[in-house]
Chains A and B, each alone.
Chain A
């Protein structure tokens, strides 16, 4: 079974540019999560989709971040315009169930904003 995949693995952009990250969850997983780890700090929750609906977006830092999951399959996270503090590793995770359901993580996208 294929795991969670993310694209790209690395992205280097300049401040003010736009970047779109993609996540493909495990097939059949209705729950999709985005997390971010800024250098040396904890992995922080950004938002949670159930199918195509945003269940919880309490972790989204500001309106420069836009997440979508059209059709309830893959998800994209767009940062526009990117700022220096957006640098970090963006993880996607998916789970079959909410709550106690194991969240399977993708390999992450390392975003560097110069």
Chain B
């Protein structure tokens, strides 16, 4: 089955700096990669996703890149703000065979003033 690894487990950046979270996946048939953000005490929420036919996707200060050959994808947050502090989860799914998300272990991002 699919296996997703995520690094780093914790990340501390100063406000205004950029943050990068990296994930690798094992199943080359995976074709959809969502990212979820979970703020303290709240539910995980989808913040951005990318399909395998696209190499990069941007939404304001966040972007995701995908390298299918290397089987890794990354989340980039620019101009970080305190409200970006949360746990971020990457996930992978092979939509052709299943609907279950396989998640990484999460990255706790702390944005300091």
Contacts and interface: CB of A to CB of B under 8 A. Distances in A.
Interface in B77-113: 89, 93, 95-96, 98-106
B61 interface: no
Interface stretch (A13-21, A71-79, A80-88, A100-108): A100-108
**Secondary structure call for the A interface:** loop
A95 B95 CA distance: 13
Interface in B34-89: 34, 36, 42-46, 49, 51, 89
Given A42-B4, A42-B106, A43-B89, A102 B99 contact: no
B103 A43 contact: yes
Contacts, number: 64
A70 B43 CA distance: 25
Nearest to A92: B43
B95 A45 contact: no
A61 interface: no
Chain A interface size band reads 20 to 34
B100 A3 contact: no
A69 interface: no
Given A33-B99, A43-B89, A91 B105 contact: no
Nearest to A47: B100
Contacts of A59: 100
Interface string A41-75: 11111001000000110110000000000000000
17 contacts: A31-B99, A33-B100, A35-B101, A35-B103, A41-B105, A43-B101, A44-B103, A45-B102, A48-B100, A55-B99, A91-B43, A99-B32, A99-B93, A99-B96, A100-B95, A107-B42, A107-B43
Interface of B: 4, 6, 32, 34, 36, 42-46, 49, 51, 89, 93, 95-96, 98-106
Given A45-B100, A95-B99, 20 more contacts: A4-B43, A33-B100, A40-B105, A42-B89, A42-B104, A43-B89, A44-B103, A56-B99, A56-B100, A91-B44, A98-B99, A99-B95, A99-B96, A100-B51, A100-B95, A101-B99, A102-B34, A102-B49, A106-B43, A107-B43
